[in-house]
Amino acid sequence: MAMTVLSRELCAGSDDLARVMRALLEHTDAWQVAGRANVPFADLVNILQQLRERGIVEFCGSQLTLTPLGAEWARALHVAAAEPVTCQACAGSGFEFEPFARAYAEFVPLLAQRPPAESTYDQGALTAESVFRRLAFMYAQGDIAAKSILLLGDDDLLSVALALTGLPREIVVVEIDPRLCQFIQRIAESRQLNVRVIQHDAREKLPSDLRAHFDTFITDPSETIQGLLLFVEKGLAMLQPGGAHAGYFGVTLIEASLHKWNLWERHLLQNHALVFTHISEPFSLYAKGDEVGGAVKVDFELLREPSAVPWYRASFFRLETLSEFVPPVDYDSNPRDELYQDAESLEEAWLVLANGAAQSPIPIPQEFLNASAQRAAQAQYGLGRHVIAEFWDCENVQSETGLADAIQAAVRGARATLLDLNVRRFYPQGYSAIALLAESHLSLHAWPELGYVALDVFTCGEADPQKIVQALETHFKPRDVEYLKIPRGRARARAAELEMQN
Amino acid sequence: MSEYQNLKSKLPDHITQGDVKKILAAILSENAPWDWFTRARIPFPFAVRILRELQDAGYLAFANAKTQLTPRGQTLAAELHATAEPNMTCPRCAGSGADWGALQNIFERYVEIYNARPRNENPEFDQGAMTPESLFRRLALMIHLGDLQGARVVNLGDDDLASVAIGLTGLAQSVTVLEIDERIAAYIQAVAQKYNLPLTVRHQDLTQPLPSNLLGAFDTFVCDPPETEQGLLLFVEKGLALLRAGDAHAGYFGATVMEASLAKWARWQKQLLNKHEIAFTHILPPFTEYAPWPDEKPLPDIPALATLAGRPWYRFAFYRLETLPAFQPAADFETELSQVFYFDYEGYYEAWKV
């Protein structure tokens, strides 16, 4: 009971408290506690301060110790230190990089010369070992040898490591930082490495010759909700259509709660024909003193000195495309989207320290309403929603050019999954399109001579057919529009629902 | 016509170009034929079907007790960019990333208990046990992630006697086993009494409703579900019905790509994420090995596979999910066995149905 009171006072779930307590039993160094606790960094700082106020933990320089009262709390929470179980041979990654020993020896001095991390670009570099563990991991999945590989951002010089193995068919780096671009370019030229560097801000559309071109993409996205999706979906847009292509990205629990993980996983599965095949233990370590946001900006005894050993760690996700995969349409990011900072960012910890106040919860964008609310909404609609639209006097109906892109974007915007799309032109005029969605279908018939388009959109689940209709309205620019909305399968679904309630 | 088009015309639609490429890369990479399946990461019957076609169409030849790609087979491999890949799996931890050395003191006792377990597994229950090393790697991970310490753990089906190993660590507050096979249930019960372990065993058919006092009562669930689409969901959703409301409870389950395509994995992932307030935190490489099982069969018409492997080759990936703050235990339900073990052309035994 007392524990519940404590965790309520701490504004943290009892799980966060338990995680921090476990980390405190295993480590005394504050940075290592932060690396092990698996709670957002700002929450950790907040919890540590409050634990000190309550006499549960003592600070001494950058060291932390549990007081006898703290040890009692740990027992009450059923928290015990875990024996070290990380495999020493592979640092918990499960893969060895021995076959790449030569490339590794060449890589280490190069990484050391890299321009220092720049927080403007949300940078931070992995240790050389971590770079090669990732490389071994990807290689073991068959995603490197003879492949065409895209890196969206390359703080870690992974492109150089890949090229030094001599295995990939093609390596392209898209990087925003001109210093890094020049640095990689110089190495590539002097060593005749097969790396093409493109300086580009990934928030904008990528060069069109990169689209639907690659076998594998790798990115270390920022960890806001939209930031991660932006990077990963850009990566997907650059993959070839069809199955067995791979995407990799690093994610932490230090700057992202599991709540965000859930949103990302759901969003990606729902909108693209892909599957997650691997989510690793966080074996990727960031170089010491080079961790994201390494400079401590507020005087806080515990974290005054940068860590002497790496502590900031990331899990590694692998996704694989399914055979019906179609690369999504590339897009410019919405300038209103928060790509780099949210309440779970490392930077937020300095605000917590400065204000001494509990932070505000993470703002969740409207489209990510929690699943149960969405399910409740869905129950009203029965099994599906069907919208029939009549577009009259369309300005843009003469040709089917751009229609496939418009349909893809519309489907994506409605968070539906496009499985198949077929656009057919008729002679002398007119065209039709039919899209098979994981959530039902869309059909469209255009009579350019009459300026008329007949559109049918049927979706089940969370996807909103109205959004698709609106997006296509923007494409065709009709002067006059009529809608008919039909709920589908309502009576039976309602009956089944009542039966469940009884 | 390209070599692939020629081969494709002989294969059923559900076998993709990616599948063919993966099996070709596995043949190029592994000498031991049963290891092809481990490397290929596609459903076993798909792999066998492709091997048969490769053999019949002269892409694959067996000579001097060795199977190799013929020149045409090599052309096909080049066409699909299939290349030999050395095995990078860490030999010390089998790719799990976990070292169970700290559990050495209970390992021997567990192995003794494991070796004395009732055998002649009943194929009707989809049984088969993982090797003790595999189980201990899983255990090490669960401890590392804090999911056993002080926890109320429930095992849904327990052919591997994981409950006994968890009990022996002395870390869990309690372990409850729901097991359909009465012999295994009785054996676990006897072991629990003999070693004074905090185990409760219940005879339970998971297609039937669970005892209401167990719903929403556990911190951690562990299971190894069957690999049909509904079979896996049955076990995992029953597991989710047993977890307590709120966050930071964990569910573990094994899943293989040897009997489930990635398309099926995608349907599982979507279904579970859409219905429950959870996130997948780990999908670890297939480090879990099945020990050779009683009704394991060779494939007489494929010379390379005409004798049994004689060592573990069937592997599982290991999933961990964690509940979010809004999590509510799933509603319990009942179903029919036919809904769970229905025809599924990704299942192991399909390979013998020519």
* Nearest residue to B226 via CA among B344, B321, B334: B344
Q: Could you tell me which chain A residue has the CA closest to the CA of B172?
A: A78
Same domain, B267 and B168: yes
What integer pLDDT is reported at residue A297 of this predicted model? Answer: 56
For chain A, the structural domain boundaries read 2-76, 105-329+337-367, 382-501
- Selection from A208-212, A337-341, B288-292 with the highest mean pLDDT: A208-212
What integer pLDDT is reported at residue A391 of this predicted model? Answer: 95
Same domain, B109 and B68: no
Same domain, B125 and B155: yes
Residue B93 within a domain: no
Contacts of residue A261 in chain B, CB cutoff 8 Å? 279-281
Scanning A452-471 for CB atoms below 8 A from B yields 461-462
What integer pLDDT is reported at residue B49 of this predicted model? Answer: 94
Scanning A243-302 for CB atoms below 8 A from B yields 243-244, 258-259, 261-262, 265-266, 269-270, 273-281, 283
Residue B158 within a domain: yes
Q: Could you tell me which chain A residue has the CA closest to the CA of B42?
A: A244
* Contact A335/B at CB under 8 A: no
CATH of the domain at B170: 3.40.50.150
What integer pLDDT is reported at residue B194 of this predicted model? Answer: 96
* Nearest residue to B274 via CA among A408, A485, A439, A419: A439
Q: Which of B44, B79, B114 finishes a domain?
A: B79
Question: What domain count does chain B have?
Answer: 2
To which CATH superfamily is domain A382-501 assigned?
S-adenosylmethionine decarboxylase (3.60.90.10)
Inter-chain CB pairs, A–B, below 8 Å: 198
Identify the active-site residue in A181, A333, A460, A475.
A460
**A439: which 2 tokens?**
């959530």
Task: Give pLDDT tens digits for A404-462.
Answer: 889 988 887 787 777 788 888 887 788 999 998 878 899 999 999 999 999 999 988 77
Per the CB < 8 A criterion, the answer to whether A133 and A96 are in contact is: no
Contacts of residue A15 in chain B, CB cutoff 8 Å? 247-248
Supply the range of the domain harboring residue B156. Answer: 101-352
Is pLDDT above 50 for A54?
yes
Q: Could you tell me which chain B residue has the CA closest to the CA of A278?
A: B283
Q: Rounded to the nearest 5°, which phi and psi values hold at A444?
A: -150, 135
Mean pLDDT across the stretch A83-89? 85
SS3 at position B39: helix
Is pLDDT above 80 for A494?
no
Inter-chain touch A244–B277, beta carbons under 8 Å: no
Buried b (16+ CB within 10 A) or exposed e, B285-306: bbbbbbbeeeeeeebeebbbbe
Scanning A132-151 for CB atoms below 8 A from B yields 136-137, 139-140, 142, 145-147
Inter-chain touch A281–B97, beta carbons under 8 Å: yes
Scanning A150-189 for CB atoms below 8 A from B yields none
Inter-chain touch A278–B284, beta carbons under 8 Å: yes
pLDDT in tens, chain B (354 residues): 799 999 999 999 888 888 999 999 999 999 889 999 988 889 999 999 999 999 999 999 988 878 899 999 999 999 998 888 888 899 899 999 999 998 999 999 999 999 998 876 565 565 678 999 999 999 999 999 989 988 999 999 998 999 999 999 999 999 999 999 999 999 999 999 999 999 999 999 999 999 999 999 999 999 999 888 889 999 999 999 999 999 899 999 999 988 899 999 999 999 999 889 999 999 999 988 888 887 788 998 888 899 898 888 888 999 999 999 889 999 898 888 776 766 677 888 788 876
Q: What's A431-453 look like in SS3?
A: EEEEEEECCEEEEEEEEHHHCEE
Helix segments in A192-341, DSSP class H: 225-238, 258-271
What integer pLDDT is reported at residue A488 of this predicted model? Answer: 83
What integer pLDDT is reported at residue B118 of this predicted model? Answer: 86
| DSSP code for A395 | S
Task: Give pLDDT tens digits for A250-275.
Answer: 999 888 889 899 999 999 998 899 99
Per the CB < 8 A criterion, the answer to whether B260 and B227 are in contact is: yes
Task: Give pLDDT tens digits for A175-206.
Answer: 999 999 999 999 999 999 999 999 999 889 99
Same domain, B270 and B142: yes
Same domain, B343 and B230: yes
Same domain, B237 and B280: yes
What integer pLDDT is reported at residue A378 of this predicted model? Answer: 47
A60 is catalytic: no
A307 is catalytic: no
With pLDDT > 90 as the criterion, what percentage of chain A qualifies?
44
Average the pLDDT over each of A121-125, A323-327, A483-487, B37-41 and give the range with the smallest value.
A121-125
Inter-chain touch B281–A142, beta carbons under 8 Å: no
Q: Which secondary-structure segment (H or E) carries A25?
A: helix A14-26
Shortest Cα–Cα distance, B249 to chain A (Å): 9
Average the pLDDT over each of A121-130, A299-308, A447-456, B74-83 and give the range with the smallest value.
A299-308
B94 vs A83, residue with greater confidence: B94
Q: Which of B13, B46, B79 finishes a domain?
A: B79
SS3 at position B289: strand
Residue B94 within a domain: no
Inter-chain touch B146–A22, beta carbons under 8 Å: yes
A296 pLDDT band, cuts 50/70/90, is: low
CATH of the domain at B20: 1.10.10.10
Inter-chain touch A244–B16, beta carbons under 8 Å: yes
Scanning A26-65 for CB atoms below 8 A from B yields none
Task: Give pLDDT tens digits for A370-402.
Answer: 444 444 444 444 678 899 999 999 999 988 888
Q: Which of B79, B110, B126 finishes a domain?
A: B79
A460 is catalytic: yes
Closest by Cβ to B324, choosing from A136, A258, A275? A258
Q: Which fold has domain A2-76?
A: Arc Repressor Mutant, subunit A (1.10.10)
* Contact A84/B at CB under 8 A: yes
CATH for A105-329+337-367? 3.40.50.150
* Contact A450/B at CB under 8 A: no
Same domain, B65 and B161: no
